[in-house]
Structure 1
Amino acid sequence: MSLKKIEDLNRILTELKIGSILIKRKRNGEKYSRRFYLDEHEDFISYYQSEKIFAQSHYIREIDEIRTGFHTLTFGELLKQQIVHSDDEKLAFSIFYNNYRDELHLMTNDEQTRYKWVLGLQYLIDLHTTKGQGHIIHDTNWILSHLRFGDKDKSNTITKPECQQLLADSLNIELPEDVFEKLFQETDKNGEGILTPDEFINFFHVLARRIDLYEIMQKYVKNANEQTIETICMNINELLYFLRTVQNQNIITYTSKQFNEDFTVQPITMYKQVQELINKFEPNIELQEKGLLSLDGFRNLLLFEDFSLMKPWCSRRPYHDMTRPLNDYYINASHNTYLFDSQVSGDSNPEAYNRALRSGCRVVEMDCYDGDDGQPIVTHKFTFVKPCSFESIIRYIEPNLFKASPYPVILSIENHCSIIQQKEIARILKQILGSKIDIIK
Structure 2
Amino acid sequence: MFDNLTDKFDRAFKVLKGQGQITEVNVAETLKEVRRALLDADVNFKTAKDFTNQIKEKALGRDVLTAVKPGQLLVKIVQEELAELMGGEQEDVDLKGNPAIILMSGLQGSGKTTFSGKLANYLKTKKGKKPLLVACDIYRPAAIDQLHVVGDQIGVEVFSNRDEKDPVKISQAAIQYARSNGHNVVIVDTAGRLAIDEQMMNEITAVKRAINPSETLFVVDAMTGQDAVNTAKAFNERLNFDGVVLTKLDGDTRGGAAISIKSVVNKPIKFIGTGEKMEAIDLFYPKRMADRILGMGDVVSLVERAQENYDEEKARKLHKKIAKNEFSFDDFLDQIQQIKKMGNMKDLMGMIPGMGKAVKNLDIDDDAFKGIESIIYSMTPEERNDHKILNGSRRKRIANGSGASLQDVNKLVKQFEETRKMMQLMSNKKNMANMMRQMGGMKGMPGM
TM-score (norm. length: structure 2): 0.26
Q: Which has the higher helix share?
A: 2
TM-score, normalised to structure 1, is 0.26
Larger RCO, structure (CA 8 Å, separation 6 or more): 2
Higher-strand-fraction structure:
1
